[in-house]
Amino acid sequence: MMTKTIVWIYPDCLSSTHPALLLHRAAPAVFVWDDEWLATAQISLKRIQFIYEGLLELPVAIRRGDVAAEVLQFAADHHAMEIATAHSVDPRFHAHAQRVAAVARLQVYSLPPFLDCDASKLDLKRFSRYWRTAKKQAYDYTVSA
């Protein structure tokens, strides 16, 4: 059976409500540990574990290496004509997505914003720094009458 679409899961959207997973329920999905990111970004073991535990709850194949190359190889392995994913503010995502889109049809779905802020001013290297900004809005509940 020919698979028309595969789903590419990126670390920013590890969720069962990932739009590409919801729209392509029968499609195989892949997540790629980015070797370059792991080698250069000084990612904590806690963050790696957090991501891994999130992945274990998703119907996803886990690979490691060059993200774009691995995503494209996964698509080829499944004879897919389209790669579906969700948008990320991470500049690395944009670089990977450009490489993928140069070779295959890439469908990028929008996510509702978690924060109403200038993404270029967020510090995405450490969760605690990001959360200092995010929690102000995340916990600002307005009760309607």
Distance, C-alpha 130 to centroid of its chain: 17
Considering the domain architecture, whether residues 90 and 20 belong to the same structural domain is answered as yes
Do the beta carbons of residue 64 and residue 33 sit within 8 Å?
yes
Q: What is the CATH number of the domain that holds 65?
A: 3.40.50.620
Considering the domain architecture, whether residues 103 and 144 belong to the same structural domain is answered as no
120: containing domain:
115-145
Considering the domain architecture, whether residues 20 and 90 belong to the same structural domain is answered as yes
Considering the domain architecture, whether residues 80 and 142 belong to the same structural domain is answered as no
Query: How many independent structural domains does the chain possess?
Result: 2
pLDDT tens, residue by residue, 65-113: 999 999 999 999 999 999 999 998 888 999 999 999 999 999 999 887 6
- Give the mean pLDDT of 10-18: 88
